[in-house]
């Protein structure tokens, strides 16, 4: 609801006979970036507030009231040892960092802490301590007398910058810059010269003075060497030094009654009016959380009368111009997020999808971890996505060397590990020498053989060989006989076997069979298949090759299964499939032949089902076919690779629109289940493929369905 007096000379009062507000569920968070999934492991820690990964490969975690843990974690993410550090005693402990001078045998901790009261904080009780030595029992209070609000705005996170100086996120003492008599959690305490800012301290300087408490006037100049780096930050819990050279941090907006200074120009000390600004008061109302790029000397909008910062944000609430050094927010995070923990994700997991993103915890609305992708110039947020949710007040974040993200759940009293789930990565490789559709492919001797297929001008009998080691293509002798599309190509015992194919899209199936020996670079013509077919599925099991389905010479899909024995150069017939299908995906796994999807076409040219999702498995030991879990995405002319004992079914063509697509779905034969993997970068059908040393190569195919052609070569691995 919106009402306005349209710049009239006086405010208007609007009365309502009845008015109510009903809370409704907000929109769901945006999906995570493609290919980002985690497995979760948790272990108990009372009210974690800050975390850091040490050079001794231990996770350091602070509890809210001063206890620090140094956890040794096993490969399952569970603590096998917990060194409990109680040097601080009972203190509100919100920041913990590792000294860059630390070594695996000499870890040095820096910790920020203050008065432990949760409702009546002691002014100037903020301390930065260095803990070192046996049991971290040697405590040196390097900085003392930092501000502390009556509420829990205190000395927050601390980090060493690349310049070797210590940077400190210092909370503000008020809701919006000025004290008031509203009896909120902030009481009547005013701001101080070092509150509501990102501070910097040259703690390595031999003459550094960290005694900041002005005992004669807490609102007077602090008698120490701690300086304000960026000002006007209401309550920045954490911040991050990004690899692009910038400092970023989230700042929590006003969520209670607050007031900005009574005057927009100095001197502006004194109490603010708690009426809303629209009613002539100094209360700006609820404010969103903001994401800031922090620069030296810039002001980010939270007033501090004791630094002569009297203008709230851009001045629009007070009807004045912004301060000359005012810096608008980089990004609006939304209301009531309480965005707190912050790290830059630096691992290569997820094919780099998260690398260099800034990750934030949302303590309130969302209870999740959000990823902000920073623009290439570092000046804006290119995208924002929730990557993991369901936490109980997530507060601190840390990252392990393997890319594991550690989330401290404050109210949940635990640390939850987000372990990257390997979903695989795609990479471009040297293109095929020509654009080719419906070729056969198989891996042999560490190389990929691409056989036959068709170009825009003719069917082919050419053979191309890709060497992943050199990323180069070469040629082998042509396939004997006519050029064909959709042959079955299988490698067995050091030789390449090619069966069938067709000289036309829906007719011209052949019985041709041949074997190529790379050792002699020669082809041998074999006993022909009993049944002419193109687009069959095939796989080698033991010493034999199994050829299933396909399209007969009259264009009808087949159920036929025939078995070739290289030792006798002969064929036998085995149990037929339960469903006729041509152009299925196929592979041998665990001693069984699997066929995925395909099409049911009739001899009269009609189609009973143009995009099958069903799956069948043949067991040679029992000569039986068994239905297995259907594919999530029905398809024909797909690509099948095999990694980690699973089948990866990629791309294909769909009947509903005849188009090619890139869906990549993995089948686990042990659990009979499917999961989704990153899609083919170039959607296509009718490509050749082979798996070599843990990498699936997908070559050629049709990028738009029907008779389209490409030379693309893309590789997938975990």
pLDDT above 50 for 128: yes
Q: Do residues 551 and 509 lie in contact, with contact meaning Cβ atoms separated by under 8 Å?
A: yes
Let me know whether 76 and 222 are in one domain: yes
**Using DSSP, how many helices (H) and how many strands (E) does the chain show?**
0, 48
Let me know whether 108 and 220 are in one domain: yes
| pLDDT value at residue 1 | 44
- The mean pLDDT value of the chain amounts to 94
Q: What is the pLDDT of residues 149-173, one digit of tens each?
A: 999 899 999 999 999 999 999 999 9
Average pLDDT over residues 343-355: 93
Q: Is 407 contained in some domain?
A: yes
Residues 6+ apart with CB under 8 A from 484: 452, 459, 461, 500, 501, 502, 503, 510, 512, 534
Categorize the per-residue pLDDT at 422 as very low, low, confident or very high, splitting at 50, 70 and 90: confident
Let me know whether 299 and 387 are in one domain: yes
Let me know whether 447 and 416 are in one domain: no
Q: What is the pLDDT of residues 245-283, one digit of tens each?
A: 999 999 999 998 999 999 999 999 999 999 999 999 999
% pLDDT > 90, the chain: 90
| pLDDT value at residue 36 | 84
Q: What is the pLDDT of residues 185-240, one digit of tens each?
A: 999 999 999 999 999 999 999 999 999 999 999 999 999 999 999 999 999 999 99
Q: Is 20 contained in some domain?
A: no
Of the residues 385, 420, 455, the one at which a domain ends: 420
Let me know whether 483 and 516 are in one domain: yes
pLDDT above 70 for 10: no
| pLDDT value at residue 351 | 85
Q: What is the pLDDT of residues 516-544, one digit of tens each?
A: 999 999 999 999 999 999 999 999 999 99
| pLDDT value at residue 23 | 44
Q: How remote is the C-alpha of 676 from its chain's centroid?
A: 15
Q: What is the pLDDT of residues 491-520, one digit of tens each?
A: 999 999 999 999 998 989 999 999 999 999
Q: Is 458 contained in some domain?
A: yes
Mark residue 279 as left, alpha or beta (left: phi above 0; alpha: psi -120 to 50; beta: remaining): alpha
Let me know whether 346 and 495 are in one domain: no
Which tokens sit at 296? 């030296």
Let me know whether 613 and 670 are in one domain: yes
Categorize the per-residue pLDDT at 706 as very low, low, confident or very high, splitting at 50, 70 and 90: confident
Let me know whether 647 and 506 are in one domain: yes
Categorize the per-residue pLDDT at 19 as very low, low, confident or very high, splitting at 50, 70 and 90: low
Cα separation, 642 vs 692, whole angstroms: 9
CATH number of the domain enclosing 344: 2.120.10.30
| pLDDT value at residue 27 | 40
Label residue 250 exposed, middle or buried (CB < 10 Å: 0-12, 13-18, 19+): buried
Q: What is the pLDDT of residues 79-89, one digit of tens each?
A: 999 999 999 99
Let me know whether 263 and 322 are in one domain: yes
| pLDDT value at residue 15 | 63
Q: Is 293 contained in some domain?
A: yes
Cα separation, 167 vs 157, whole angstroms: 9
Let me know whether 404 and 489 are in one domain: no
Cα separation, 612 vs 630, whole angstroms: 9
CATH number of the domain enclosing 506: 2.120.10.80
Report the side by side order of strands in the sheet with 394-399.
Answer: 38-44, 414-420, 405-409, 394-399
pLDDT above 90 for 13: no
| pLDDT value at residue 421 | 87
pLDDT above 80 for 581: yes
Q: Is 31 contained in some domain?
A: no
How much is the pTM?
0.79
Which tokens sit at 703? 């990028």
Q: Is 426 contained in some domain?
A: no
| pLDDT value at residue 505 | 87
Matching residue, tokens 């007077």: 220
Average pLDDT over residues 616-639: 97
- Looking at 76-85, 440-449, 654-663, which range is the least confident one? 654-663
Alpha-carbon separation of residue 533 from 363, 544, 554, 624 (angstroms)? 62, 19, 10, 22
Alpha-carbon separation of residue 706 from 273, 437, 680 (angstroms)? 72, 10, 18
Q: Is 12 contained in some domain?
A: no
Categorize the per-residue pLDDT at 28 as very low, low, confident or very high, splitting at 50, 70 and 90: very low
Let me know whether 398 and 301 are in one domain: yes
Let me know whether 478 and 332 are in one domain: no
Q: Is 459 contained in some domain?
A: yes
| pLDDT value at residue 6 | 42
Q: Do residues 51 and 62 lie in contact, with contact meaning Cβ atoms separated by under 8 Å?
A: yes
Q: Do residues 158 and 169 lie in contact, with contact meaning Cβ atoms separated by under 8 Å?
A: yes
Of the residues 405, 420, 435, the one at which a domain ends: 420
Of the residues 358, 387, 420, the one at which a domain ends: 420
Domain containing residue 522:
443-717
- Which helix H or strand E contains 361, and what residues bound it? strand 358-362
Total of domains in the chain: 2
3-class SS string, 235-253: CCCCCEECCCCCEEEEECC
């Amino acid at each position: 609801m919106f009402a306005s007096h349209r710049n009239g000379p006086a405010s208007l009062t609007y009365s309502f006979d009845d008015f109510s507000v009903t809370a409704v569920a907000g929109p769901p968070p945006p999906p995570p970036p493609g290919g980002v999934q985690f497995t979760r492991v948790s272990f108990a820690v009372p009210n974690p507030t800050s975390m850091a990964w040490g050079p001794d490969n231990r996770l350091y975690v602070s509890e809210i009231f001063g206890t620090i843990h140094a956890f040794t974690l096993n490969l399952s993410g569970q603590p096998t040892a917990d060194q409990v550090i109680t040097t601080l005693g009972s203190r509100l402990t919100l920041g913990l960092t590792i000294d860059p001078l630390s070594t695996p045998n000499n870890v040095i901790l820096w910790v920020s802490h203050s008065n432990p009261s949760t409702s009546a904080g002691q002014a100037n009780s903020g301390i930065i301590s260095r803990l070192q030595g046996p049991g971290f029992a040697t405590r040196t209070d390097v900085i003392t007398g930092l501000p502390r609000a009556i509420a829990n705005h205190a000395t927050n996170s601390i980090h060493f910058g690349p310049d070797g100086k210590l940077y400190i996120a210092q909370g503000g003492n008020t809701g919006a810059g000025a004290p008031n008599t509203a009896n909120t959690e902030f009481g009547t305490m005013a701001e101080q010269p070092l509150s509501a800012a990102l501070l910097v301290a040259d703690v390595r300087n031999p003459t550094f003075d960290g005694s900041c408490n002005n005992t004669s006037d807490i609102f007077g100049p602090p008698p120490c060497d701690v300086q304000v780096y960026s000002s006007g930050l209401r309550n920045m819990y954490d911040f991050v030094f990004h690899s692009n050279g910038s400092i970023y941090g989230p700042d929590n907006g006003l969520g209670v009654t607050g007031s900005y200074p009574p005057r927009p120009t100095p001197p502006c000390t004194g109490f603010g009016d708690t009426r809303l600004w629209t009613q002539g008061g100094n209360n700006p109302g609820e404010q969103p959380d903001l994401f800031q790029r922090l620069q030296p000397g810039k002001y980010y909008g939270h007033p501090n009368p004791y630094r002569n910062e009297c203008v709230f944000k851009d001045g629009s609430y007070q009807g004045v111009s912004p301060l000359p050094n005012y810096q608008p927010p980089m990004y609006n995070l939304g209301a009531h997020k309480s965005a707190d923990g912050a790290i830059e994700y630096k691992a290569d997991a997820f094919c780099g999808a998260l690398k260099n993103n800034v990750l934030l915890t949302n303590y309130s609305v969302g209870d999740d971890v959000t990823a902000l992708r920073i623009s290439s110039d570092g000046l804006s947020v290119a995208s924002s996505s929730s990557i993991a949710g369901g936490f109980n007040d997530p507060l601190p974040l840390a990252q392990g060397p393997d890319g594991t993200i550690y989330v401290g759940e404050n109210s949940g009293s635990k640390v939850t590990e987000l372990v990257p789930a390997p979903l695989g990565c795609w990479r471009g490789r040297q293109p095929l020498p020509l654009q080719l559709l419906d070729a056969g492919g198989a891996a042999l001797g560490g190389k990929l053989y691409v056989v036959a297929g068709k170009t825009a001008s003719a069917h082919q009998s050419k053979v191309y060989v890709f060497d992943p080691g050199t990323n180069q293509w070469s040629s082998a002798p042509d396939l004997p006989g006519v050029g064909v599309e959709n042959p079955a190509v299988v490698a067995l015992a050091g030789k390449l076997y090619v069966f069938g194919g067709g000289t036309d899209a829906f007719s011209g199936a052949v019985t041709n069979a041949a074997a190529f020996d790379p050792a002699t670079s020669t082809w041998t013509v074999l006993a022909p298949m009993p049944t002419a077919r193109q687009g069959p599925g095939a796989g080698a099991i033991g010493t034999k090759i199994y050829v299933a389905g396909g399209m007969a010479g009259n264009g009808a899909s087949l159920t036929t299964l025939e078995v070739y024995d290289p030792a006798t150069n002969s064929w036998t017939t085995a149990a037929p499939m339960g469903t006729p299908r041509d152009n299925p995906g196929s592979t041998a796994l665990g001693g069984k032949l699997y066929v995925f999807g395909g099409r049911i076409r009739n001899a009269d040219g009609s189609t009973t089902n143009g995009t099958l999702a069903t799956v069948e498995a043949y067991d040679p030991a029992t000569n039986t076919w068994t239905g297995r879990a259907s594919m999530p995405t029905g398809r024909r002319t797909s690509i099948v690779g095999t990694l980690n004992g699973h089948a990866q079914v990629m791309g294909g063509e769909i009947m509903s629109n005849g188009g090619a697509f890139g869906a990549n779905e993995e089948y686990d034969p042990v659990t009979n289940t499917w999961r989704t993997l990153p899609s083919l970068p170039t959607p296509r059908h009718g490509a050749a493929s082979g798996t070599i040393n843990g990498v699936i190569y997908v070559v050629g195919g049709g990028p738009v369905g029907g008779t389209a052609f490409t030379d693309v070569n893309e590789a997938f691995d975990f």
